[in-house]
Amino acid sequence: MKAIRWPIGQLILLLNLTFSPRSPKRAADEQAKIDDKTRTLSLYQLPSCPFCVKVRRTMKREGLKIELRNINGNNDYSAELVREGGKRKVPCLRIEKEDGQVQWLYESSDVVSHLQALTKAA
């Protein structure tokens, strides 16, 4: 299975690099508001996962700065995802709320919807 996944993953990364979306141009104060809203977000992901690529492309298209946590590159991130999120599934957006509670949002379409709503609210 790894013999199939690796080349497909590399192809996905190449296509993403070749056809990467552009970030929007915003006024500095407007971008600062959005950056403040994304300050407490972290995306648990794998670099060549097509669903993770979908979320990262949305982040770029919307001009969002969100910490990326590669669960294969760091065992602490993988363990944290399982311990606190409940399962080892990516993409997963960790949302730390103002009251200190943490929400774990799985499913790429749900994450994309959440990120787009964040941008519209700003």
pLDDT band at residue 12 using 50, 70 and 90 as cut-offs: confident
Instruction: Calculate ∠ Cα 31-37-43, nearest 5°.
Output: 105
Each residue's pLDDT tens digit, 28-70? 999 999 999 999 999 999 999 999 999 999 999 999 999 999 9
Q: What is the pLDDT of residues 69-105, one digit of tens each?
A: 999 988 999 999 999 999 999 999 999 999 999 999 9
The yes-or-no verdict on residue 106 having pLDDT over 70 is: yes
What's the CA gap between 26 and 107, in Å, rounded?
28
Polymer length in residues for the chain: 122
The reported pTM is 0.88
